[in-house]
């Protein structure tokens, strides 16, 4: 492409009976591919946030009794 962007195309060919020609259909699916990539990235970010939230919760469970014990003195 002149602007350096990649285009994703879906093509389909079908020979026509009793004719010396082929029906060709080409569909630009670039936008769909871009949206799928954005969805995958959002799912990755959500997974990381769930993981870090779980780690923070476990760390809080470890430190709460330690801090509570330290405040007694």
Note the pLDDT tens digit of each residue in 8-26: 999 999 999 988 999 999 9
Predicted pLDDT of residue 42: 98
pLDDT band, very low/low/confident/very high, at 1 (cuts 50, 70, 90): low
pLDDT (0 to 100) of residue 24: 96
Residue 15: what pLDDT? 94
Predicted confidence (pLDDT) at residue 57 exceeds the cutoff of 90: yes
d(CA 24, CA 50): 46
- CA dihedral for 54, 57, 62, 63, sign (positive or negative): positive
33/72: higher pLDDT: 33
22, 13 Cβ separation under 8 angstroms: yes
């Amino acid at each position: 492409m002149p602007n350096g962007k990649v285009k994703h195309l879906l093509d389909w060919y079908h020979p026509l009976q009793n004719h010396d020609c082929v029906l060709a259909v080409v569909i630009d699916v670039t936008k769909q591919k871009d949206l799928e990539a954005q969805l995958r990235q959002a799912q990755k970010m959500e997974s990381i946030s769930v993981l870090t939230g779980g780690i923070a919760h476990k760390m809080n469970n470890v430190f709460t009794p330690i801090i509570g014990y330290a405040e007694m003195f």
